Structure formats: structure tokens, C-alpha cells
Amino acid sequence: MAKDYLKPAIGGAIIDASCGSGLFSRMFAKSSMYSLVVALDFSENMLRQCYEFINQEDTPKENLILVRADVSRLPFRSGSIDAVHAGAALHCWPSPSAAVAEISRVLRPGGVFVATTAIFDGIFSWIPLVRTLRQTLASVSGNKFYLSEAELKDLCKACGLVDFTCQRNGPFVMLSAMKHN
């Protein structure tokens, strides 16, 4: 699914934000579809693991770099990136709004942001106890739990991203939004 959303970035530079062990970063590099793949994570240990997998799998290194950075303070020029992918990461960021705003800043006009997360919606989201439980879980785990697709759409819109789309499989959500031209 990510490949379909990322078609506008073919031939350009892509960041795999909060890449972890680099599963998607390695896939992007092996595809030869991007001129530059940035495996980006805040954790030095995750980047070390990513590096080990790159070497074990003989992943092409010509267009792949590893960068340690906070997703809320990306070390890239404004408008210099064609796509940002964030697999199962959005809910883990301390400030999703700051991170998405920063992603929007580095995306070129027409650039795409693709992310996966989980949402907890439906009839139970309207019960006050569920909202309280969500806040409690967020404070204990440090994760941000979303109650609706509308919340995710509003987050993207507030950060200057348009053409929001969302595909769901139960609580699993893959979203896409584009930097306004």
C-alpha cells in the first residue's frame, strides 16, 4: 500500500522517519525507485540495528544514508524532500503536531506524507470513560491514541497538508496527505 501512496516521489528523495530497524528503508533502497533514501531515527541503537541489517542483506548503499534526528527538528532544508514515510510511528512521537508540521516544512510542494498508526473509534469513543482511559494510556505509555480519522485529517490540515486519504483495516490506518502547492 505504501508504494502506491509514494508514487509521486519516484525518482526523488524519501525519508523513512522513525525507521527503527530499517525494514522500509531497506525496501526503499533495494527498489532503486528513489534518488536518496534517508533512514531516520532518534534512537542510536535502532540506527545501529538498521546498519547491521543493511550489511547482512547487502542492501545497496549508494543512495542510502542513516541520520539520527528528532522528527520534530529535521536537519533538512525546507522544500527539499519528495516524501516522508512513517510506519507505525505517529502515535509514538511526543508531539505529533510538531512532527507533522516539521515534515510539512521539509516536503517540497506536491510532496507526500505517508504514515501508519492505529485509531480507536466507533461508538465507544463517545463514552466519557473511554476518553479518560485514552488519556490515561497516553500519559502512561507516552503514545497518542487517535479516536477518529477526522482527528488525523485535522492534524494534517493544521500542518499544511491537503488531499488527505485514509485506508483502514480494523484499528490499523494508513494515511496519506500532500504538501500544498
What pLDDT sits at residue 43?
A: 97
| pLDDT, tens only, 81-101 | 999 999 999 988 999 999 999
Mean pLDDT, the chain, whole residue set: 90
Least confident segment among 26-35, 101-110, 146-155: 146-155
Q: What is the pLDDT of residue 2?
A: 85
Residue 178 clears pLDDT 90, i.e. is over it: yes
Q: Are 72 and 42 in contact (CB under 8 A)?
A: no
Angstrom distances, CA of residue 20 to CA of 14, 39, 45, 83, 143: 16, 8, 9, 18, 16
pLDDT of residue 170: 85
pLDDT tier for residue 1 given thresholds of 50, 70 and 90: confident
Q: What percent of the chain has pLDDT over 90?
A: 74
Q: Which of 16, 15, 179 is nearest to 108 (CA)?
A: 179
Q: What are the tens digits of pLDDT across the range 108-165? A: 999 999 999 988 776 555 555 555 555 555 555 555 666 688 999 999 999 999 999 9
pLDDT category of residue 77 using cuts at 50, 70 and 90: very high
So what's the pLDDT on residue 46? Answer: 98
Would you say residue 106 has pLDDT above 90?
Answer: yes
Q: What is the pLDDT of residue 75?
A: 98
Q: Quick check: 93 and 149 in contact, CB under 8 A?
A: no
Strands 172-179 and 161-169: antiparallel
* CA gap 66, 42 in Å, rounded: 11
- Which band of pLDDT confidence, cut at 50, 70 and 90, is reported for residue 30? very high
> Residue 82's pLDDT is what?
98
